[in-house]
Amino acid sequence: MKLVLVAAYTYPHEAHLAKGLLEAAGIECYLQDELTTQVNNFYSNAIGGVKLLVDEESMGLALQVLKEAKHVTKEDNLFDDDFETNEEVLICSNCGSNNVGSPRLKGAAALISILFLGFPFPFLIKKAHCFNCGRDFKP
């Protein structure tokens, strides 16, 4: 049995509500890092929150149950945190996929622009990233 991440929650009680929904639907699930966040709530963001894990075969059904109960929304970030999804549809020039995002401004450039301007410099980002083939390209 291979466990995969379905959702992550900041607080253990939120994760327990979602776990109860999945168990009521007959889906076996587990919580990871629950006790760590109970002992010290400030660790929750550092470790990625309380993770709700299900069997790989039950992933689709689990997401469907959570979406119907409004526990997982479009705004929830269940995947790679290093990229934000674009509103406009971009197509990868390499593989033709529309699973494309723009990398966030990172590191020293972001820090310097925040210190001097008070906000990050979003127009420094001039490339997109394809999640299917992993290629960076100009939109």
Helices vs. strands in the chain: H and E counts, helices first:
5, 7
The model's pTM is 0.53
pLDDT single digits (tens) 2-60? 999 999 999 999 999 999 999 999 999 999 999 999 999 888 888 989 999 999 999 98
Strands (E), the chain: 3-9, 29-32, 50-55, 83-85, 100-103, 128-130, 136-137
pLDDT of residue 82: 42
Are the C-beta atoms of residues 56 and 30 closer than 8 Å to each other?
no
Q: How many CB atoms lie within 10 A of CB 50?
A: 26
Domain spans, the chain: 3-68, 83-137
State pLDDT tens for residues 101-126. 766 555 666 677 777 777 666 655 56
